């Protein structure tokens, strides 16, 4: 009868070192997702600010300025000289 060689059982320290990358990956997932969602929220907020600032300068909210046309100013000037 042949005896089988004793297989070395991995110790708990070796199991812990082999599981370390998975632990780091699982710990890094949540901050990464929060970062992505945070960047998306900030970009949407900045786009909204940009659109609102364009509305201020659009003209719908500015006062109406009555600018005389060049034809009216020359006629008024002739009438005043006479």
pLDDT of residue 57: 76
pLDDT of residue 40: 98
DSSP single-letter state for residue 35: H
DSSP notation for 22-44: HHHHHHHHHHHHHHHHHHHHHHH
One digit per residue, pLDDT tens: the chain, 82 residues?
566 666 665 555 555 567 788 998 889 999 999 999 999 999 999 999 999 888 877 766 667 788 888 876 655 555 555 4
Do 15 and 22 meet the contact criterion of CB atoms below 8 Å apart? Answer: no
Contacts of 39 (CB under 8 A, 6+ apart): none
Measured CA to CA, the distance from residue 9 to residue 67 in angstroms comes to 93
Measured CA to CA, the distance from residue 65 to residue 76 in angstroms comes to 19
16: left (phi over 0), alpha (psi -120 to 50) or beta: alpha
């Amino acid at each position: 009868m042949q005896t089988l060689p004793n297989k070395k059982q991995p110790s708990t320290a070796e199991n812990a070192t082999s599981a370390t990358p998975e632990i780091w990956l699982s710990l890094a997932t949540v901050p990464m997702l929060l970062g992505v969602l945070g960047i998306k929220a900030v970009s949407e907020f900045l786009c909204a600010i940009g659109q609102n600032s364009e509305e201020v300068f659009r003209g719908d909210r500015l006062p109406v300025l009555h600018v005389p046309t060049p034809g009216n100013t020359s006629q008024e000037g002739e009438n005043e000289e006479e």
